[in-house]
Structure 1
């Protein structure tokens, strides 16, 4: 029985992806054009760059979708990708140009590579492959299978060691925003690995409790003393702004306070596309970290809510693919991708609204950043391939079942 993949394409995922990507190009142009014109540059410069990355993304989606799903399970390929990623991370720290006190970018002509972005899909891919091979043992021994001491001499086979190296490497940039996302995504992958469901609520409670404890300690000790720690000194002002942004409007609290102003300016229906006040030099990083504040200012809370609804619809459809998947590897990849996007949305909105300290995390699809869009597109391609493969397997099972009954 031969079934063409083009008939199995999940349009409930593809169409929202296309709409959000196109909307992202519009938002990038809106949030960057005024500043670029002031600098004497083309108003389309960053939007054009974003469009080029999207063009590459569409080609990758088509290629990945056509490939047989077995390529994702190739252990040698996973090892090669992780090895290349480690080299890129090292190069980003050694020869990269610092931005706002942090490293993490490699400039190759007009193109800038941010290796930390690619870690998101790599970790999901690696953990899904790693945990899917132990489903029989997990079913019997629960989480104990995944916490056995394997540090030496099989260090690379120990997923904890791999995560420690990959995520820990971001601390030398430092890039605590992406490190936070990766930790949360790793915890999500651990909880959907097949262990008992009760561990999800336990881990969630521990995570919330430890976060509150850390914030309480920082507040008690004082942000100034915390800033003396070499690696974390640059984020001290973010904690200061989190506690009260209006104490230092010209310094630490400048971004968050202007983010509040932007959201208040937007009201219910917004000032109109391109009419943001805050993006004209008042709100730094208006096109990246705080882009959703500008979206609220221009589209209003009604328009921003519709965008969020579309994004959450995409996330739910992706997670649904994982829930319906029969293969553990397929299930974990799809749920991991949906969880990754959801976590990134939560961390970004939490930062711009003051619910959590700002982490410098971009908003999916809308923020200017070709690497982020490329990673999201590859992740979507993985899910589309998985969904089509699961549908094909189901049709084959049904066909074989009907044939056996007929015979």
Structure 2
């Protein structure tokens, strides 16, 4: 019995994408080291324990998810869609937790030691459902350029993004749904006119809201976060405080950095660098490890994105390709927005740096997403036949 179990475990490990797993683990360990540095000033070891436990759980989840066949899972698409809606609606129950800005974007269950962000989970199931929609439209409608195709996929995206934003008030993750949709539908072959219409309509709506001062007082801070990008002196003590401190911290690192655990701002007390273990972890990397460390962190994330895209490019069918593209775009946009936020060129919208920032549920769900990619790689290899080109069923 133990021999069979050992053989099964070894088979699971051997069939998984160990390169992708290694890159994810390297980024996570890097992140844990920087979280330790960022929280050392108050002797808070709990975050290190939580993040390390999340990494270990994430590895197990990675192997477990890689065993799931997406074709079998997607047959229960109605249940997945219902789960997305109900999981978001849980934010309106007593389990929903509000942050300092009034956004209700976290769930706190009494039987779990950490909070869960529904958006982290729903983004993955959303990508799977959207990928299946795109393949279905390609096969059944045979025309991704039609209005009906744009209506189906656009309606799905706006429905989830709109519901999440109305319920939670979290603009960052609501925006992520839209960005993921744009990349996936573009790769699938949607007509450019639909993207032009989307961006044009969005610009007109946002412009109208600003021009006619329709932003409610409770949400004025969102508008201010965009204004401060063009005028760094605007409301420095409030709206621009985080990014001003972040830019100062990164600037102090120079090329080689001030040394691990020796950052002037990173090791200072409360009030020096806000959210240094979450939203502004990149600032700590920049100060203590300098340009070299910051570049290494970016290269690790870029390597993960490239690996996911390579698996998608080799996939045996468009459905798998679209899933990989969606997951890669999710990591890519979070990286770009978070780093841009730390460099004061993008607004603060609450998106953390994947694998690096503190957040147990975030790490576990990221490893789960990568587990789906690993499973796609495994099944691409298993289903190959002699003389059959790899990925011959996919359109690239």
Q: TM-score range by the shorter chain?
A: 0.7 to 0.9
Map 1:250-399; keep pairs closer than 5 Å: 250-279=237-266, 280=268, 281-394=271-384, 396-398=385-387
What per-residue deviation string (whole Å, max 9, x for no partner) do you get for residues 288-330 of structure 1? 1111111111110111101211210111111111122130111
- Aligned pair partner of 1:122 in 115, 121, 125: 125
Residue number in structure 2 paired with 1:84: 83
Residue 98 of structure 1 corresponds to 98
* Superposed counterparts of 1:43-192, under 5 Å: 43-74=44-75, 76=76, 78-95=77-94, 96-100=96-100, 101-109=102-110, 110-137=113-140, 139-140=142-143, 142-147=145-150, 158-172=152-166, 173-192=168-187
Conservation of the 8 A alpha-carbon contact between 1:60 and 1:378:
yes
Counterpart CA distance in 2 for 1:130 and 1:161 is 11
Contiguous gaps of at least 5 residues in structure 2:
1-10, 390-396
Name the count of aligned residue pairs. Answer: 371
What per-residue deviation string (whole Å, max 9, x for no partner) do you get for residues 76-99 of structure 1?
A: 2x3323323322322223422211
**SS at 2:352's partner residue?**
coil
Instruction: Please state whether the residue corresponding to 2:367 is helix, strand or coil.
Output: helix
What's the offset of the Cα at 1:241? 2.5
Q: Is the 8 A contact 1:351 1:358 kept in 2?
A: yes
Query: Would the alpha carbon gap of residues 11 and 207 (structure 1) be closer, same or farther in structure 2, given more than 3 Å must change?
Result: farther
SS at match of 1:336: helix
- Taking a change above 3 Å as real, the CA distance of residues 60 and 161 of structure 1, as seen in their structure-2 partners, is same
- Work out the CA distance in 1 between the residues paired with 2:304 and 2:172: 23
- Per the normalisation by structure 2, the TM-score is 0.84
Separation in 1 of the partners of 2:143 and 2:158?
27
Q: Deviations over 1:173-230 (max 9, x none)?
A: 210011111110011121122446xx3xx66777777787788778877xxx565454
Task: Point out where structure 1 has 5 or more consecutive residues left out of the alignment.
Answer: 38-42, 149-157, 401-407
Give RMSD over aligned pairs: 2.7
Q: How does 1:4-23 map to 2 (within 5 A)?
A: 6-23=13-30
Tell me the TM-score normalized by structure 1: 0.82
What SS does the aligned partner of 1:112 have?
A: coil
Q: Is the 8 A contact 1:139 1:195 kept in 2?
A: no
1:24 has 2:31 as partner = yes
Q: Secondary structure at the match of 2:169?
A: coil
* 8 Å CA contact 2:244, 2:344 repeated in 1: no
Check conservation: 2:256, 2:289, Cα contact below 8 A: yes
2:209/2:215 contact within 8 Å kept: no
Q: Which moved more, 1:134-143 or 1:368-377?
A: 134-143
Q: CA deviation at 1:135?
A: 2.1
